[in-house]
Each structure stands twice: as structure tokens, then as C-alpha cells.
């Protein structure tokens, strides 16, 4: 227990902030966990159909997006090191790079989804409803899970934009950077989820 923390009126507890962030990440983990349960059950029930449906996804785009997210995770982590070393400018540019990677990820996602929708594969479409149940479920889950993930990418970018503003104003600086750490933690979670989504949707061969 840090007894010194109580002597200040506005007390600062970076350790506590990180702990709170981790707890929040657990809720995100379980949120996706619910979807993974649904996925696991339906894949178990319709193995063959999941296998067939997965052939229709473009593994190259999936892999490209995996590499993009992994790299963005690295630049996010590096921005902390840069700030700790006092390189505010470098730190900020690393965040900008992270955001750009996130943008690229979303552009890829957009093309991937539009291609599918163009082929008439989207929830409730005539083409999809005609297919076997397992394939309907596969694509239903594909849209829901990658969609929710994409939503998290957008939230992550928003958080990083806020952190950039805080760094500009000096609220986040070399000695007080827990906000950046927490933003990066969130971003790594987005990466972590994708690490599982990728093999589960693109690599069922």
C-alpha cells in the first residue's frame, strides 16, 4: 500500500491506473470470449461446412492484415520507450505510424468485406440463405466477429488520437505517461484478438 499516495489531494497512482486498465481488458477478453464460445460450438456442429466456407476467404489479405497489426503493435510499444527516453517527437511519430497501420488494416478490411458483399454473401442475403446452415453460421460469425474487432480498431485509433493531443499539450510526458501505456495496452488487446481470429477464420483447411 502506498501510503504516500494519500497525502496529495489529487493523488496519482500509475500502478492503479494500469491495474484498472487490465481489468477492463479482461472484460473485453470475455466479451470476445462469448463469441469464441459461439464459434466453437457451431464449428463443432458443422465442421465440414466451416471448412468449405473458409475456402472462400482470401488468406493473403488475412495474413497481410495480421502482419500489419503485429507491426502496429510493435510501433505502439516502441512509442512508450521513446517517451521514457524523452523523445516526445519520435514517440508521437510512432503513434502516428500506428494509426496509419490501423487505417491500412481498415482499408483492407473494407475491400475484403465489399468483395464478399459484391458476391452476395452477407447476412440475410438470398445467396447465403440458400446455402447449408453451417455456412450461414460461418459467415454470420465472420461478419459479427471481424465487425466487432474492426469497431475496436476504430476505438483504439480514437484513444491514440486523444493521447496525441495530450502529448501535444504536455499532459502526457516523460514522467507521466500512464495514459499512453493504457492506450497501448488496449491496442495490444486488439492485436491479441486478431491473433486468434486469423487462424480461426482464414486457416481452416
Partner 1 sequence: MSDHHSQENVHVVDYGKYIFVWLSLLAFTGITVSVSGINLGNWTVVIALVIASVKSWYVLNYFMHLRHEDIVFKIFISVALITLAIFVSLTFLDYSFVR
Partner 2 sequence: MVNVAGPADKIEPSFLEVSTNKYKGILSWLLTVDHKRIGILYLFSMMTFFSVAVVFGFLIRLELIAPGRTIMGPQMYNQLFTLHGIIMIFLFIIPGLPAVFGNFFLPIMIGAKDVIFPRINLFSWYLFITGGLIAVISTMLPGGSADTGWTFYVPYSVRTTTNVIPALAAAFILGFSSILTGLNFVTTVHRMRAPGMTWFKMPLFVWGLYATAWVQILATPIIGITLALVIVERFLGVGIFDPALGGDPVLYQHLFWIYSHPAVYIMIIPAMGIVSEIIPVFARRTIFGYRFIAFSSLAIALFGSLVWAHHMFTAGMSDTAQFVFSFLTYAVSIPSAIKIFNWVSTMYKGSIQLDPPFLYVLSFIFQFSIGGFTGLMLGALSVNIHLQDTSFVVAHFHYVMFGGTGFGIFAAMHYWFPKMFGRMYNKKVATWAWAITTIGYNALYFPMFIMGYLGMPRRYYDYLPEFQPYHVASTIGSWILILGLIIMFTNLIVGMRRGKKAPANPWGGATLEWTTQSPPILENFHTIPTIEKGPYDYSQFEIPAAKEAQ
Site for partner 2 in 161-200 (CB under 8 A): none
CA 78 to chain centre: 18
Say whether residue 37 binds partner 1 (CB under 8 A): yes
Interaction between residue 2 and partner 2 (CB under 8 A):
yes
Q: Which of partner 1, partner 2, none sits in contact with 149, Cβ below 5 to 8 A by type?
A: none
For residue 147, how many C-alpha atoms fall within 13 Å in the half-sphere facing its CB?
A: 11
- The nearer residue to partner 1, 128 or 177, going by C-beta atoms, is 177
120 binding partner 2? (CB under 8 A): no
CA triple 66-68-74, angle to 5 deg: 105
CA dist 194 and 182 (Å) reads 19
Collapse the DSSP code of 144 into the 3-class scheme (helix H, G, I; strand E, B; otherwise coil) and give the result: helix
CA atoms within 13 A on the CB side of 100: 7
Task: Mention every residue, 6+ apart, whose C-beta is less than 8 A from residue 44.
Answer: none
x-or-dash string of contact with partner 2, 23-42, rule CB under 8 A: xx-xxxxxxxxxx-xx--xx
In the complex, the residues that contact partner 1 under the rule CB under 8 A are 1-2, 4-5, 12-15, 18-19, 22-23, 26, 29-30, 33, 36-37, 40-41, 43-45, 59, 63, 66-67, 70-71, 73-74, 76-78, 80-81, 84-85, 178, 181, 184-185, 188, 191-192, 195-196, 198-200, 203-205
Amino acid at each position: 500500500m502506498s501510503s504516500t499516495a494519500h497525502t496529495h489531494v489529487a493523488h496519482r497512482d500509475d500502478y492503479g491506473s494500469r491495474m484498472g486498465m487490465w481489468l477492463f481488458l479482461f472484460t473485453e477478453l470475455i466479451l470476445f470470449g462469448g463469441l469464441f464460445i459461439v464459434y466453437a460450438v457451431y464449428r463443432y456442429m458443422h465442421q465440414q461446412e466451416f471448412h468449405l466456407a473458409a475456402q472462400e476467404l482470401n488468406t493473403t489479405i488475412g495474413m497481410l492484415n495480421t502482419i500489419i497489426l503485429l507491426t502496429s503493435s510493435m510501433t505502439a510499444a516502441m512509442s512508450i520507450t521513446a517517451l521514457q527516453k524523452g523523445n516526445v517527437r519520435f514517440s508521437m511519430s510512432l503513434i502516428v505510424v500506428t494509426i496509419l497501420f490501423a487505417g491500412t488494416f481498415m482499408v483492407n478490411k473494407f475491400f475484403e468485406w465489399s468483395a464478399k458483399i459484391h458476391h452476395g454473401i452477407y447476412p440475410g442475403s438470398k445467396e447465403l440463405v440458400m446455402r447449408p446452415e453451417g455456412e450461414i453460421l460461418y459467415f454470420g460469425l465472420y461478419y459479427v466477429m471481424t465487425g466487432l474487432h474492426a469497431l475496436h480498431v476504430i476505438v483504439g485509433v480514437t484513444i491514440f488520437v486523444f493521447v496525441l493531443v495530450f502529448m501535444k499539450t504536455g499532459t502526457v510526458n516523460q514522467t507521466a505517461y500512464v495514459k499512453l501505456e493504457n492506450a497501448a495496452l488496449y491496442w495490444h488487446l486488439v492485436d491479441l484478438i486478431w491473433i486468434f481470429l486469423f487462424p480461426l477464420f482464414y486457416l481452416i483447411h
